[in-house]
Amino acid sequence: MLKDAFMSGAAAISNSKRAVDELNVYPVPDGDTGTNMSMTMSNALRELQFMEDSCTASQVADTAAAALLRGARGNSGVILSLLFRGFSKAFKGKSEIGCEELANALELGVKGAYKAVMNPTEGTILTVARLASEKASNIYKTAENESALWSEICDEADKTLERTPEMLPVLKKAGVVDAGGKGLIVIWRAMLDVFQGGNAVSEDAPKSIPSAKTAVGDFDEEINFTYCTEFIVNKKADCPDVSRLRAFLKTIGDCVVAVDDDDIIKVHVHTDHPGKAIEEGILFGSLTNLKIDNMRHQHENKAKEAAIMKEREFTPAAPEKPFGFVAVASGNGIEELFRNLGADSIVTGGQTMNPSTDDILQAILATPAETVFVLPNNKNIIMAAEQAVKLADRRVCVIQTKTIPQGMTAMLNFDPDADFEANRFNMSKAIEGVSTGLVTFAARDSDFDGKDIKKGEILALENGKLALTDKDVTKAAYKLIKKMANGDTGFITVIYGADVSDDNAEALNDLIKNKFGDKAEIMMISGGQPVYYYIISVE
């Protein structure tokens, strides 16, 4: 039941991810909450679907927690994984669970999530989970049963979610509730359906699993018929000769077995029409031990399972040097830039494409160094990177870079002759002085930093804050640079994205040179990044 509940929750958030995404009040395109929570839960779904029904509650919770941790994407995905980590801790060694264990699971999960978030904000998924947990702790001793307790938990979560706009003014102004809290309730409500004896939610569309096609070759036995059909016939008094049954089964399938004993006939056949086999069997007596399996489905599952195992077949790189770097980046030009600065491994990702904890972990393990510095280069990737630290087999340090310019500055301030502590301090200190400008577009209508934003409008951000809007990308970028620069500015670096032509980039370069050419060194780089037309660094 617990396994079905977790899988139901994963399917439910997958079906509702777009609706949850639409609650996002941030106008800049990003790794939306619903999508990140769905991708995180889907990682658990992949693992759970291969577990036997005879497994214990502890085994289910352990499997789900490990998969969620590795698959966690974005801050919402990491928080979700930590909440479910509480289930693994509370159910440890237990074959069955009751109300007390459920209440403990929520309490442990909430504590872990709050501990991981540096500055917890109330009115978010954290608040929804915490108040639901407190409700569970207060009533679990008097709850009628587990499903009744979980129903109360969901009701409390719903009430809290409705109050989130009162806790966060930005939600109230946008007229929405917290997206993360909503996603959590979608998952919990789907779990409740299972606890109450209902059916698990099914995904609207089947998930494709990366590299499954390559794994099918390991299971390429020919399947001529779909259903493996087995049953036992309790022979009636005037039972016809079994050869007649055997002959009929051969006309509708293959792999026919009809073993005749004194009182029974054991039947096995691969066929596309199991009903015909059963109807024919009834002519010979009463049927028991009916079993019909979809062999094509089993074949696909084996291939998927092999794909998952193949993904795990990875030999960590042996340390060959004291220090190494993993950088998260998107765009051929930016990736090459980090390689030239000394990055050993690049994790493809960034805005709208938040890599999972496991993606970052694999890059860490592929880096041949005793100590690996990780540069997330995006505020929504930092938490996933920090979770990877716990899973690595070597020392890992996450430098909390929130932008590409901060990542570049961190690497430029690395000293190969200095020790770990000195480098960690120097790089962390250096990024504090980096001013980052971003030019992008509004992905949705929103009220952002007190300004009414319309979808498609060009946004210019200075250190995450809205600086100005415009209808023209080049003008927005030039105005932003003028706003960021001052008399002490010595370097202006402009990285232009995939949606900016070389001609437009050159036009902006001319404007900058005319204004700042005699004061600052100007560098124009083709980054090829998505989402951001321009990434600007002023130092």
DSSP letters spanning 281-295: HHTTEEEEEEEEEEH
3-state SS class at 524: strand
d(CA 374, CA 328) in angstroms, rounded, equals 8
pLDDT recorded at residue 431: 93
Beta bridge pairs of residue 88: none
Q: What pLDDT, on the 0 to 100 scale, is given for residue 145?
A: 94
| Cα dist from 486 to 80, 439, 492, whole Å | 43, 19, 11
Give the count of alpha carbons within 13 A of 511, CB side only: 16
CA 476/CA 458 separation, integer angstroms: 7
Sequence-separated (6 or more) residues with CB below 8 Å from residue 535: 403, 404, 405, 436, 437, 438, 494, 495, 497, 527, 529
Q: Model's pTM, two decimal places? A: 0.74
- Burial status of residue 222 (CB atoms within 10 A of its CB: 0-12, 13-18, 19 or more): exposed
- Name the strand (E) or helix (H) holding 453: strand 451-453
pLDDT for position 220: 40
Backbone angles phi, psi at 386, to 5 degrees: -70, -30
Q: What are phi and psi of 49, to 5 degrees?
A: -65, -15
Within the chain, what is the greatest distance between any pair of CA atoms? 107
**Per-block mean pLDDT, blocks of 10 residues, the chain (539 long):** 94 93 77 88 89 88 93 92 95 93 96 88 94 96 94 97 92 88 96 92 53 34 76 90 90 84 84 92 90 75 58 75 95 93 92 89 94 95 93 94 95 95 96 92 78 87 91 94 88 92 94 89 92 92
Predicted pLDDT of residue 288: 87
